Amino acid sequence: MKSVILVGPGNLVVKEISVPDVTPPAHRVRMMACGICGSDVRYLAGENPWSLHTVGKNLASPPNMVLGHEIAGIVEANGVSKRVAILAYRACGRCRACLSGRENICASVEHLGHGAGWGTREYYPGGMAEEFEVWDGFSYEIPDTISFEEATFLDGLAVAIHACDRAGVVQGSRVAVLGLGPIGMLAAQVARDRGAEHVMACDTTALPVELARELGFESAAQSDGHAMFRRAERESKQFDAVIDTVGAQETVEAAFALLAPGGVISLLAVHEGHIELDAMRLSAERYVTTSANSPYRDFQRA
């Protein structure tokens, strides 16, 4: 079968490999659509975003990793075909994180498209393959009214739901979203769906800002990090929640400038390196947290 394989940093190939064996109760899925996540681009560049977000350090990725974790396809069993979206990771179920319902920060997961938890293999499974194996109970049937391409957004939607939970977004919240890639765009929509009083959306490039306006975010603005910071100072400390999908020095500074007393910054992008911060930005019970992946329940909610 054809697969998209990350041989190593900067070395991505399309290659024929063997169809994986399946041991029941796991089942084989025929891939119909697979999204390209920002983390896939980071893997190509030599980063390991899963380990950065989950275990706090940049672990080396294994060679020959099939990319892709935003997946929809068809399961065929007992003569019946089902259209499904895939929850792409399985946590250990035994650690403190899992036992407290926080499977998303389990350090011992098996993860499609991320190379994590599979031991030593010739090829590490992912969704950018014609077929792949998935664990029993981790495929969710989707109706005919949802296309396979649309279903690939369920993974990102779950991430956005979790980010809004971490930021405490509820009805009446004032929310700022910095960075309008797919996750930022989804987070803005989740906030609006929850009844946020106001959602401000910003990005450095024109296209996502235009898309945000088409989705009804009329105040969406294009600005670089410094301009975003200046705008933040003008709109001083008005936002209960700031969702930062970029994680750069400039966006973190802007996030704190926007944050109301008692407000929360939810960081979705974690990078190696240092960010400088005036400690007084944390006054009046402002705080910053990170948001990693999403627990099982948020994929089900999506």
Q: Region 60-87: what's the mean pLDDT?
A: 93
Same domain for 219 and 131: no
Same domain for 174 and 125: no
Q: For position 237, what pLDDT does the model report? A: 64
Taking 70 as the threshold, does the pLDDT of residue 28 lie above it?
yes
Q: For position 4, what pLDDT does the model report? A: 97
User: Is residue 18 domain-resident?
Assistant: yes
Number of domains in the chain: 2
Per-residue pLDDT tens digits for 30-56: 999 999 999 999 999 999 998 888 888
Q: What is the pTM of this model?
A: 0.93
Q: Which of 214, 223, 291 is nearest to 257 (CA)?
A: 223
Same domain for 184 and 94: no
User: Is residue 280 domain-resident?
Assistant: yes
Q: Region 296-302: what's the mean pLDDT?
A: 94
Phi and psi of 291, rounded to 5°?
Answer: -135, 120
Q: For position 298, what pLDDT does the model report? A: 96
Same domain for 223 and 283: yes
Share of the chain above pLDDT 70, in %: 95
Same domain for 210 and 124: no
User: Is residue 179 domain-resident?
Assistant: yes
Using the 3D structure, point to which of 151, 180, 214 is the last residue of a domain: 151
Using the 3D structure, point to which of 131, 151, 171 is the last residue of a domain: 151
Q: For position 34, what pLDDT does the model report? A: 98
Q: For position 125, what pLDDT does the model report? A: 95
Beta-carbon count within 10 A of 186 CB: 23
Q: For position 172, what pLDDT does the model report? A: 97
Residue partners of 88: CB distance under 8 A and separation at least 6? 69, 70, 71, 111, 112, 113, 114, 127, 138, 155
Same domain for 165 and 96: no
Using the 3D structure, point to which of 89, 120, 151 is the last residue of a domain: 151
**Is residue 98 within 8 Å of residue 89, measured between CB atoms?**
no
Same domain for 123 and 36: yes
Per-residue pLDDT tens digits for 200-256: 999 999 999 999 999 999 888 888 666 766 666 676 668 999 999 998 888 888 898
CATH number of the domain encompassing residue 34: 3.90.180.10
**Is residue 207 within 8 Å of residue 184, measured between CB atoms?**
no
Burial class (CB in 10 A: 0-12, 13-18, 19+), 141: exposed
Same domain for 146 and 8: yes
Mean pLDDT of the chain: 92
Q: For position 292, what pLDDT does the model report? A: 92
Per-residue pLDDT tens digits for 165-201: 999 999 999 999 999 999 999 999 999 999 999 999 9
First-to-last C-alpha distance (Å) of the chain: 31
Taking 90 as the threshold, does the pLDDT of residue 257 lie above it?
no
Taking 80 as the threshold, does the pLDDT of residue 77 lie above it?
no
**280 CB-side CA count, 13 A:** 0
Q: For position 254, what pLDDT does the model report? A: 87
CATH number of the domain encompassing residue 253: 3.40.50.720
Q: For position 280, what pLDDT does the model report? A: 85
Q: For position 231, what pLDDT does the model report? A: 67
Q: For position 229, what pLDDT does the model report? A: 61
Q: For position 226, what pLDDT does the model report? A: 64
Q: For position 64, what pLDDT does the model report? A: 95
Same domain for 132 and 84: yes
CA distance 90 to 135: 8
Taking 90 as the threshold, does the pLDDT of residue 279 lie above it?
no
CA distance 121 to 125: 9
Domain that holds residue 284: 160-293
Q: For position 191, what pLDDT does the model report? A: 98
